Amino acid sequence: MFPGEVVQLTIERDGNTVDIPARLSEYAVMQESENDARVNGARNVRLSGFEQAIQHDTVLNPEQCGGPILDAEGRVIGINIARAGRVVSYALTASLVSAEVSSMIAEAGGK
């Protein structure tokens, strides 16, 4: 997906499903000040190619990318892959990662 494209969003409210067209906008990448980098840590600058990523608001340090994201019961629900701000982080779902790992193992001739 790219800025300017129109995507169809399907939402459910009170048991009713509604399709809504939405035009993707350009994500404004702001220059980080030296203080921002010191207080918040570095951010990833890649803005596309994460079609199956979920956004969450966990405070995530850069070195925690690759680590698990847990639900309230402590179950692993995904793997952190990027942060875009102090409380804007992205993860891949555990089901997606599991399927991809299984596919890679099968392609490599493993079990």
Residue 1: inside a domain, yes or no? no
Question: Is the model more confident about 3 or about 18?
Answer: 18
Can you tell me the distance from the alpha carbon of 64 to that of 42, in angstroms, rounded to the nearest whole number? 12
- Contacts of residue 105, defined as CB under 8 A and 6 or more positions apart, other chains included, come to 111
**What confidence score (pLDDT) does residue 29 get?**
44
Contact 53, 92 (CB under 8 A): yes
DSSP secondary structure code for residue 30 in this structure: P
Q: Which of 18-22, 32-36, 57-61 has the lowest mean pLDDT?
A: 32-36
Residue 27: inside a domain, yes or no? yes
Residue 86: inside a domain, yes or no? yes
Query: Is residue 31's pLDDT more than 50?
Result: no
- Contacts of residue 5, defined as CB under 8 A and 6 or more positions apart, other chains included, come to 23, 24
* Total domains present in the chain: 1
The CATH number assigned to the domain holding 32 equals 2.40.10
Residue 10: inside a domain, yes or no? yes
**What confidence score (pLDDT) does residue 80 get?**
92
Q: pLDDT > 90: what percent of the chain?
A: 10
CA nearest 66: which of 90, 45, 42, 48? 90
Can you tell me the distance from the alpha carbon of 73 to that of 53, in angstroms, rounded to the nearest whole number? 21
Residue 81: inside a domain, yes or no? yes
Domain that holds residue 102: 6-107
Give me 23's structure tokens: 């035009």
